[in-house]
């Protein structure tokens, strides 16, 4: 184990009119395949071809919350398939203007949406860590049809000084392809063999038989005895003066979506998952995302989570905004 310091109501996805989320993304990616070149961080020319707008994106950004070091880990970056307005059809011009002030790097050319694919590690004194989500995964992962694979999470964890054996819990906010990609290797073996993988039971129960998450991640983790299904709000780690990590149900993006509250005592950090996927939903929380499974529930979850974050002056730690940490 090593420890190096690091710098601080739109149509639903199941609506027959729109088709499944996977098909929508795949079809859009096929139309815009040139814009989906994977971001590798190897050269300025390659980043420009991929739509990368930032000169030197930080792979790791850290914030402290009491005893916890919360590390934002950049797995990948690239454009989302299709046009931005199509994904948030009820967003108004003034909503987009506010969103651009909050996250200017999200605004690519020709109404495209540039986004990060980010995981988080919560490191405790002594070096043990909880990982929140596992990114897009390697080439050939279920996200490959539309996301910028391969991701870089294994290398970024090494850079952060986190060995796979240091990870004793993995919290999966939900079971979309870009959030579980590195949970297993190409042979279906768990990447984090010492970790219980925490997911809401409502999330696994809602999976269709042909959902890629079932065969790719749920069944392998279950066979290994590492799948830990929970119901509702559950303290995953800690308690008392030592701080705690709590899984908080925030359904709507998916049936069993959850966010993670890192309570360090004097500072709180909320790892949002996909409660909000674009700054336009921070600028205007009622704005729905086209691929939310239940837009009304997602809106309630988003507004409730943001209100609680404001009350406690908590930092938001986001999965897809180009700024990993920000205040409401």
With CA atoms as reference, report the closest residue to 229 among 200, 195, 258.
200
Q: Do residues 275 and 305 touch, judged by C-beta distance below 8 A?
A: yes
Express each pLDDT in 69-125 by its tens digit. 999 999 999 999 999 999 999 999 999 999 999 999 999 999 999 999 999 999 999
User: What pLDDT does 239 receive?
Assistant: 72
Domains of the chain from N-terminus onward? 21-327 (3.60.15.10)
Computed over every residue of the chain, the mean pLDDT equals 86
Express each pLDDT in 277-326 by its tens digit. 999 999 999 999 999 999 999 999 999 999 999 999 999 999 999 999 99
User: What pLDDT does 21 receive?
Assistant: 56
Q: Is the pLDDT of residue 139 over 70?
A: yes
Q: Is the pLDDT of residue 227 over 70?
A: yes
Instruction: Annotate 204-233 with b (16+ C-beta within 10 A) or e (fewer).
Output: bebbeeebbbeebbbebbeeeebbbbbeee
Residue 196 to residues 80, 111, 242, Cα–Cα distance (Å):
31, 40, 21
User: Tokens 């109404």 correspond to what residue?
Assistant: 111
Express each pLDDT in 140-199 by its tens digit. 999 999 999 999 999 999 999 999 999 999 999 999 999 999 999 989 999 999 999 999
d(CA 59, CA 155): 10
- Work out the average pLDDT over 9-20: 37
Q: Tell me the DSSP string of 94-142.
A: HHHHHHHHH-GGGB-GGG-BEEEEEEEEEE-TTS-EEEE---S-STTSG
- Work out the average pLDDT over 120-135: 97
Cβ-count burial of 240 within 10 angstroms (0-12 exposed, 13-18 middle, 19+ buried)? exposed
User: What pLDDT does 22 receive?
Assistant: 58
């Amino acid at each position: 184990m090593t420890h190096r310091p690091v710098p601080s109501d739109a149509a639903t996805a199941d609506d027959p009119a729109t088709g499944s989320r996977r098909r929508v993304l795949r079809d859009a990616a096929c139309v815009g395949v040139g814009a989906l070149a994977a971001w590798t961080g190897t050269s300025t020319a390659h980043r420009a071809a991929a739509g990368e707008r930032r000169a030197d994106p930080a792979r790791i950004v850290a914030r402290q919350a009491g005893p916890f070091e919360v590390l934002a880990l950049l797995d990948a970056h690239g454009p989302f398939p299709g046009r931005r307005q199509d994904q948030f059809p009820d967003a108004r011009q003034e909503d987009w203007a506010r969103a651009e002030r909050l996250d200017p790097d999200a605004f690519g050319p020709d109404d495209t949406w540039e986004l990060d694919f980010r995981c988080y590690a919560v490191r405790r004194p002594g070096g043990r860590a909880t990982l929140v989500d596992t990114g897009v995964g390697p080439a050939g992962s279920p996200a490959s049809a539309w996301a910028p694979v391969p991701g870089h999470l294994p290398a970024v964890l090494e850079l952060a000084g986190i060995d796979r054996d240091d990870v004793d819990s993995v919290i999966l906010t939900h079971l979309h392809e870009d959030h579980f990609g590195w949970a297993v290797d190409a042979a279906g073996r768990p990447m984090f063999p010492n970790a219980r993988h925490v997911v809401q039971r409502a999330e696994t129960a809602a999976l269709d038989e042909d959902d890629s998450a079932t065969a790719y991640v749920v069944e392998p983790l279950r066979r290994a005895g590492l799948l830990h299904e929970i119901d509702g709000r559950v303290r995953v780690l800690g308690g008392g003066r030592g701080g705690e990590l709590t899984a908080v149900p925030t359904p709507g993006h998916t049936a069993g979506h959850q966010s993670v509250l890192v309570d360090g005592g004097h500072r709180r950090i909320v790892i949002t998952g996909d409660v909000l996927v674009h700054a336009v939903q921070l600028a205007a929380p009622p704005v729905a995302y086209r691929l939310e499974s239940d837009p009304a529930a997602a809106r309630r979850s988003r507004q409730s989570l943001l209100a609680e974050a404001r009350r406690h002056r908590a930092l938001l730690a986001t999965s897809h905004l180009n700024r990993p940490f920000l205040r409401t």
